[in-house]
Amino acid sequence: MPDLGERGNVMGPQPIAPVVEPPAEMFAAAERLLNALMRGDNATVEAMTPAHVRDEMMQIANAIPANKYDRFELIGRARVAHHYFLKAKLSGSTGEPFKFQFRLGPKDGEWTVREALDLSGRRSAWSR
Amino acid sequence: MERMIPVDKLARPEDHILLPANRTRNARSEQGLSPGNAMPYEDDFLKSRMHGICGGEFQAMEAAGRTLYDFPDAPWEFQLDMARQVWDESRHAEIYMKLLEYVGSYYGEFPEGEVLWSCTQAEDPAARVAGINRGLEGLACDVFEQLIRIAQKMGDSVIERSVDYVLADEITHVRMGSQWMRKLTEGDPARFKRAQEFQDRIDELFNFGPGRKRVEDVDHVKQRIDGKEIEIDNGLTIAREARLLAGFTEEEIDRLVKGFGKSAAY
């Protein structure tokens, strides 16, 4: 989004509501998942994935060679009520980065993966 | 030349989340929410509604530009109208980006949907303007009129005036669509019928089940916005006055209210 200026320093209408900040627990869960994927820790990935999403999540886990990537970046984020769609990029010293999109949602205090989509060869989740 | 480009060919920054409608519906259903758009009783209603409109303005800008590009043999006046619409929609997108900031949001906070772009998928310019200018811009009249009434209840002149400014343009876009739909199909009733059917499908798609209600018939729900509790509509209403100004007939408006989705061109 372009910089529209520091609203506090200008005259005119001020925002009538605060921006909703994503919960720290959601970021922590995303970090846990991505680190597990990079080191090939399928047990942790499975533990964060309910049964109905396990197949699609494990396909992604299996597409990521253990220890090929050593850093991640959350390059996109959008929310639907209390769930967050996240787009992640995994990078390493060699080869193309790996991109995928997943949704995290809270249940009973735990953030789990609700869906996942490999973005390899796609520009977005729009491509079907 | 490729016409009807798929939605994933639209240029978007990598940090945007772009979703087919079913993925958003699933995410909402799993949280116990109605599968469609954010409802008036939800905390995010105003932000989410404006976000959806902002995405719609971007796609409307792209759609008008695409129509201009796709039909180089169309009359020069048609191309001029499409170019003018691109400029209008780009201003609308800017206005809604600023309104998003005003209500404590930003473009990209929610996913961008594809459903509006799917309404541009017609090979014939007459069908394009029937669907986009009469179907979608007619829907915009309904949504904007409702938003203006909400802003009036909030006592918020920023939203009220900004949206009213955009609504004035949408009325001209509907009129433009009606004029070109008629002109481009002159002497070809079969082509007119196909364009009309394309618009019918779009009207049907956006009737959201039971159809649009008259302002005086819609139920209300209490919502707390900007520190005030106000009563707002609990469903989509039809902007009768704006649609009449745009040239829809009473009969067309009645049909949309009844949920038939038919909106015969006048």
**How do residues B221-232 score in pLDDT, each as one tens digit?**
887 777 778 888
Q: Is residue A2 part of a domain?
A: no
Q: Which residues of A touch B (CB under 8 A)?
A: 1-2, 4, 7, 13, 15-20, 75-83, 85, 87, 101, 103, 105, 114-115, 122-128
Best probe of the A interface among B5, B17, B230, by most A CBs < 10 A, is: B17
Domain count, chain A: 1
pLDDT by residue (tens digit) across A32-56? 999 999 999 999 999 999 999 999 9
Residue numbers in B near A74 (CB within 8 A) = none
Please list, in sequence order, all residues whose beta carbon lies within 8 angstroms of the beta carbon of residue A13, skipping any fewer than 6 positions away: B102, B158
A128 belongs to a structural domain:
no
A124 belongs to a structural domain: no
What domain range includes position A62? Answer: 22-118
Whether A7 is covered by a domain: the verdict is no
Query: What CA–CA distances, in Å, run from A93 to A70, A96, A97, B15, B233?
Result: 8, 9, 9, 22, 55
Average pLDDT over residues A76-83: 96
CATH architecture group of domain B17-257: Up-down Bundle (1.20)
Checking if the pLDDT of A8 tops 50, the result is yes
Domain limits, chain B: 17-257
Alpha-carbon distance A17 to A128, whole Å? 37
What tokens appear for B85 in the block? Answer: 């619409």
| CATH number where A114 lies | 3.10.450.50
Dig out the tokens for B195 from the structure: 């364009």
Backbone angles phi, psi at A10, to 5 degrees: -120, 155
What are the tens digits of pLDDT across the range B46-82?
999 999 999 999 999 999 999 999 999 999 999 999 9
Chains A, B: CB contacts under 8 A, how many?
114
Domain membership flag for residue A6: no
Contact list, B47 vs chain A (CB under 8 Å): 17
Q: Which of A60-64, B36-40, B110-114, B129-133 has the lowest mean pLDDT?
A: B36-40
Min CA distance, B156 vs chain A (Å)?
A: 10
| Structure ipTM | 0.89
Record: contact B104-A122, CB cut-off 8 A: no
